[in-house]
Amino acid sequence: MSDKSGAVAATRRTLKELELREVILFGVFLLLVVIFSLLAPNFFKVGNFMNLGMYSASMAITAAGMTYVIISGGMDISVGAIMSCAGILTANMLLSLENVGLAVVGGLALGLLIGFFNGLLVTRLKVNAIIVTIGTMSILRGVVYLISGGRMVAFKRLPAFDYFGPARLGGVIPMALVIMLAVYLVLGFVLSRLRYGRHVYSTGSNPQSTLLAGIRVNRIVVSVFMLSGLCAALSGIILTSLLGAGMAQVGIGREIDIIAATILGGSSVKGGRGNLLGTILGVLIIGVVGNALTQLGLITFWQDIFKGAILILAVWFDQLRQK
């Protein structure tokens, strides 16, 4: 009997938590779609939604890794630069090797490696993750321009590489969306159903208690940065596939959107809180705002102003909720 009531209570709790934040976020998303459809005539079009969906998918993948990092109490400012780096590397490898498998694995491995160094620096130097990853961001931005010379890296079009972006599954759904969905299903399962996921929450909420419980906190921290690097690299590869060329600037500045979306989605900068459903809703809201502002003809610095404002508002709401 107690078994049953326990399970029921668990379900009820899940519903209750969903009720609040995610439903509000979804409402905001729908509201924005309605408002922008009325304001911008080209917004409510299948083509535009496909576009929005594909670019949001790439953002969402980076944001999934970011969610793990923020839940664990960290922050990864270098994701945008990792996206660019991995994209450029993959494009260069496609150009020289003409082998999709190697190029993709190379890009992903680079992301993992950078993430590993981020995690190592954060745990060994015991320096705030924001500072460490600002450092790696700056280094990577420089490296990207050194490699590419700031020029586009055009490679011979290989059909297999289209499966990382514009190719359509069953002729309908863009592969970018399919990959995103797969990433969210796997990472969502890990976060909510596996011991590792629980230890990520625990590390973010109280690293000392977690350590005293016999959990290797440093390993958790290094692993979430590696995951974040991997996600950012995959996202950079998808963008490269969508654009059909390697571009140094694809990820530059994207960290703001991604962090804003993740925090808006309910991940707490104090650690220990957040989930992937919230993150995807955050990504959709930021994506829709960016897309609509472009449709309305507002130049990019207005978008920067809006995104910065959303980031600050999201942090403020997070603070209010903590009380």
Binding site for another protein (CB under 8 A): 2-3, 6-7, 9-10, 13, 193-196, 198, 201-202, 204-206, 208-215, 271-273
Q: How far is the CB of 6 from another protein (least distance, A)?
A: 4
Residue whose entry in the numeric block shows the structure tokens 């944001």: 63
> Tokens in use for 17?
């938590």
158/146 Cα distance (integer angstroms): 26
Q: Do the beta carbons of residue 271 and residue 219 sit within 8 Å?
A: no
Between 191 and 231, CB nearer to another protein:
191
Q: How far is the CB of 215 from another protein (least distance, A)?
A: 5
Between 135 and 272, CB nearer to another protein:
272
Q: How far is CA 82 from CA 28, 107, 274, 315, in A?
A: 30, 10, 23, 24
15/127 Cα distance (integer angstroms): 38
Q: How far is CA 314 from CA 21, 77, 104, 110, in A?
A: 12, 17, 34, 31
Q: How far is the CB of 62 from another protein (least distance, A)?
A: 24
Between 151 and 270, CB nearer to another protein:
270
Between 166 and 272, CB nearer to another protein:
272
In 3D space, the residue among 23, 73, 30 whose CA is nearest the CA of residue 278 turns out to be 23
Q: How far is the CB of 212 from another protein (least distance, A)?
A: 6
Q: How far is the CB of 203 from another protein (least distance, A)?
A: 9
Between 137 and 200, CB nearer to another protein:
200
Q: Do the beta carbons of residue 84 and residue 139 sit within 8 Å?
A: no
Q: How far is the CB of 261 from another protein (least distance, A)?
A: 21
DSSP 8-state symbol, 20: I
H or E element that contains 107: helix 100-125
161/241 Cα distance (integer angstroms): 6
Between 149 and 208, CB nearer to another protein:
208
Residue type present at position 274 = G
Q: How far is the CB of 200 from another protein (least distance, A)?
A: 11
